[in-house]
Copies of this chain bind each other. A is one copy, B any other.
């Protein structure tokens, strides 16, 4: 989970995950969507791979990456363990926040 949390903390890596979630993509395909260099993306892919947030499939010289959502399970469970023990508090807090939001900017 440690690795997954750190991996997801980086904006570019989150964008990469989004990209390879829809469909598997090659490294250079992924890189073409970003401003940073291809090696930089390759390094991000390494981090994601180490965190088991993506899987890789090799075909010739190409490497197809695909998201592996299960890799986020532990992190998600950690978060939910926070809520499970304070569901009521969360609920009322969320409602109050919602009310406050509506109260605040009633069309300025």
- A residues whose Cβ falls under 8 Å from a Cβ of B: 2, 5-6, 8-9, 11, 14, 17, 21, 67-70, 72-73, 75-76, 78-80, 82-83, 85-86, 89-90, 93-94, 97
Contacts and interface: CB of A to CB of B under 8 A. Distances in A.
Instruction: Report the copy number of this chain in the oligomer.
Output: 2
Contacts of A14: 5, 78
Contacts of A70: 90, 93-94, 97
A80 B86 contact: no
26 contacts: A2-B11, A5-B8, A5-B9, A6-B9, A8-B9, A9-B9, A17-B82, A21-B82, A21-B85, A21-B86, A67-B82, A69-B82, A69-B83, A69-B86, A69-B90, A70-B90, A70-B93, A70-B94, A70-B97, A72-B79, A72-B83, A73-B94, A75-B79, A76-B76, A76-B80, A79-B79
